[in-house]
Amino acid sequence: MEDINDKSAKVDPLFTTIGEVGESLSELNTATRNTFEKVSSTTSRFRTAQKAFKTVQVVNRIYQKHQAKKVQKEVSK
């Protein structure tokens, strides 16, 4: 029985270390997931801003063309 206890005492630190590694991996997983969610959110906001910018560009071009036609009509009179 003493032999089993000695062997068990020698192996216990291994299981403790394995448990700690498991906890560390779980924490790393959580941190990675949180980072990915933040990047994903930022990317989504960037895409929204990019779409808004493109819309403003299109509206600006339409307005410039309208103004040019308006000026051309006045000059033609």
Question: What pLDDT digit, counting tens, does each position of 11-36 carry?
Answer: 888 899 999 999 999 999 999 999 99
Tokens 């895409």 locate to: 47
In whole angstroms, give the CA distance from residue 59 to residue 67.
12
Tokens 């560390």 locate to: 24
pLDDT confidence of 60, banded at 50, 70, 90? very high
Residue 28's H or E segment, with its range, is helix 2-76
Report the range of poorest mean pLDDT among 3-7, 18-22, 61-65, 68-72.
3-7
Statement: residue 65 has pLDDT above 80: yes
- 21-30 contacts at long range (C-beta below 8 A, 24 or more positions apart): none
DSSP letter at 1 equals: -
